[in-house]
Amino acid sequence: MANNVVRKRPLHRILLAAGMWLIPVVAVIFGAGNWLPPLASEHGAGIDGILRYLLITVGALLVIGHLVLGYFILRFGGQERVGPFRMPSARTERMWSLVPVVILALVAEGGVLVLGLPVWDKFYASAAPADSVVIEVTAEQFAWNVRYSGPDGKFGPTDPKRITLNEPLGLDRSDPATKDDILVLNEIWVPLGLPVQILLRSKDTLHSFFLPNFRVKQDAVPGMNIQFWFVPTKVGTFELACAELCGLGHFEMRGLFHVLPREEFQKWLSEQSPAQ
């Protein structure tokens, strides 16, 4: 039938096999690159460990899969039948199915159970240590309102009914707990090596507190007070971004996260004038 004439040794046999083999080459080149933002937190090392583990194991699967695919195309492409075709038995097919099952169970499920859960538990399910620097962050369209509790260690009460343009958090300035609170806009200052506990809130819609260098991400949900903690391990100024679509200014909700040596942080803290 004219519709189905096939040339021997078709061009596409070579082309397609080459294409399938090119993909793993590209994958390895990309995978070997240094893409992660410089790490600056303790638990982040655990996350980076998982990412690297997956890049290697999953990357290997991608490479092997494409090499095999390309090889099969090369070997079986063409008009000639390579030997008589024998249908594999059901048992053979079942046995071969064990291969991906075992590999993925180890790589994927193993990755979750062995590498993932311990880090996850530490980040989410363990209480913040007593010496944490506690910082309240209230996200809004399109800024980060940062508050320190001051020497009394207490955050003054907020009430949405008191919110105005001049009073973005709805603070009661006459409340004693509020008097020593320190308010900062779009900047957070923390000491090196001490746990930082964030009390995350939102004033309007969903936002997400994303510190790429610290491998920290947590959605800010209006109506919820969400707490999490982490330990900065590098001095420097890092960026804070919003990672949950929040409206027109989502792309420019930029904050700065400063990690200072401990004495300098104390100095900074003492220099801040509290909310009056």
Partner 1 sequence: MLTAPEIDPVHAPTGFIRRYIFSTDHKVIGMQYLLTAMFMALVAGALAMLMRLQLAWPGQKWPLLARIFPDGMAGGVMKPEFYLSLITMHGTLMVFFVISFALLGGFGNFLIPLQIGARDMAYPFLNMLSYWTAVPASLIMLASFFVEGGAASAGWTSYPPLSAVREAVPGSQWGQTLWILGMAIFIASFTMGGLNFVVTILNERTKGMTMMRLPMTIWTLFIASALGLLAFPPLTAAAILLLFDRHFGTSFYLPAGMFFGNKLLPHAGGTPLLWQHLFWFLGHPEVYVLLLPALGVVLDILPAFTRKPIFGHRMTMYSLWTIAVLSMIVWGHHMYVSGMSPYVGEFFAIGTMAITLPSAIIGMNMIASLWGGTLRFRTPMLFAIGAISLFGTGGLGGIFLGNATSDIHLHDTYFVVGHFHYMIGGVTLFGLLAGVYYWFPKMFGRMLNESWGKVHFWVTLVGFYSVFFGMHFIGLGGQPRRYYDFTKFEFLKPFTEMNLFISIAAFVLGAAQLLFLLNFFWSWFRGTKADSNPWQAATLEWSAASPPPHDNWGEKLPVVHRWPYDYSLPEATEDYAPQIAAPAGGRSGSWR
Binding to partner 1, residues 117-156 (CB under 8 A): 117, 119-121, 123-125, 140-141
CA dist 226 and 231 (Å) reads 17
CA distances from 164 to 37, 40, 173, 185, 212 (A): 38, 36, 13, 16, 32
| Per-residue exposure over 51-89, b if at least 16 CB sit within 10 Å of its own CB, e if not | eebebebbbbeebeebeebbeebbeebeeeeeeeeeeee
| Binds partner 1 (CB under 8 A): choice among 145, 149, 178, 208 | 208
* Footprint of partner 1 on 218-247 (CB under 8 A): 218-219, 221-224, 226, 239, 241-247
Provide, rounded to whole angstroms, the least separation between the CB of residue 49 and partner 1: 9
Candidate ranges 149-157, 176-184, 189-197, 249-257; the one touching partner 1 (CB under 8 A): 249-257
Q: Which of 154, 179, 234, 250 binds partner 1 (CB under 8 A)?
A: 250
Choosing from 40, 46, 149, 178, the residue that interacts with partner 1 (CB under 8 A) is 46
Determine the straight-line distance between the first and last CA of the chain, rounded to whole angstroms.
90
Is residue 56 within 8 Å of residue 95, measured between CB atoms?
A: no
Site for partner 1 in 15-34 (CB under 8 A): 15-16, 19-20, 23, 26-27, 30, 33
> Coil, helix or strand for 224?
coil
Among 143, 196, 216, 260, binds partner 1 (CB under 8 A): 216
CA atoms within 13 A on the CB side of 89: 3
Residues between 68 and 97 with contacts to partner 1, criterion CB under 8 A: 68-69, 72-73, 76-88, 90, 93-94, 96-97
CB nearer to partner 1: pick between 84 and 271: 84
- Residue 272 Cβ vs partner 1, minimum distance, rounded to whole Å: 25
Contact 132, 197 (CB under 8 A): yes
